[in-house]
Amino acid sequence: MKLYLDPGHGGSDPGAQGNGLREKDLTLDIALKLRSILENNYKNVEIRMSRTGDVTKSLVQRTDEANSWDADFYLSIHINSDNGSASGYEDYIYSSLSNNSSTANYRDTIHTEVMKLNQLNDRGKKNADFHVLRESKMDAMLSENGFIDNAQDAALMKQESWRRDVARGHANGIAKASNLTPKDNVDREESATDSVQSLHKVIAGSFKDRSNADQLAADLKAKRFESFVTTAEISGETWYRVQAGAFSNRENAETLIKQIESQGIDAFITTD
């Protein structure tokens, strides 16, 4: 499988900016992590990137390179911006393609896997007349991974662990959609197939009132525990949960539970 991986913008084009962040830096970091996950964990996958550093490259150069290389799939990684109030994840395929196309099948699988890990609102699967989608000869998708000018999304973007999870979500989707064969004896903690294993999530509190969840998340961060607020639908009602970690190895989750409880905060494990 030949993947052309395109971190959006670069060089003289910083892309979207906000909250002290630049799109070109985030997209490159995510793409490099994605390349590493796929190459380390799967057989017979060949990856070419439009850029591996902070260089300027036109859209025409990117699609021409992918087309001449005869890539099987084109993935363009981006970060969104709007007016500061919009937030969440969305992805695009070319505007003329149907939801039954092979490209849409790729997009559907990747979308599902990314949403499992990215902690963002789901803004849906969309179509657009973007150059990289229109001019690429192979199946192509563009993902918009949160809004850089939204304070909550940007707070996630600043976390290296979040960028790694976004990369892993894309890798999981590509692996499933392309039927990639895992390598033997891979490190399971870094494996892009982690999403098909059970994830043991450490939950430090569950509230009907969002403000209570926000306060507990702030308290945990003050105690140096990474945490964020997520939602769960229980009996038709929305509950706000404070998640402090997610592990494929249950023992790691149990270790974190003990650390949190040593601070006088109750916690429990949920398994997906």
- Active-site positions read 144
- CA 35-41-45 angle, 5° bins: 60
Q: Report the C-alpha gap between 143 and 129 in whole angstroms.
A: 14
Q: Report the C-alpha gap between 86 and 123 in whole angstroms.
A: 10
Q: Where are the alpha helices (DSSP H) in 198-264?
A: 210-222, 250-261
Cβ proximity of 56 and 206 under 8 Å: no
Q: Report the C-alpha gap between 181 and 178 in whole angstroms.
A: 9
Q: Report the C-alpha gap between 27 and 7 in whole angstroms.
A: 5
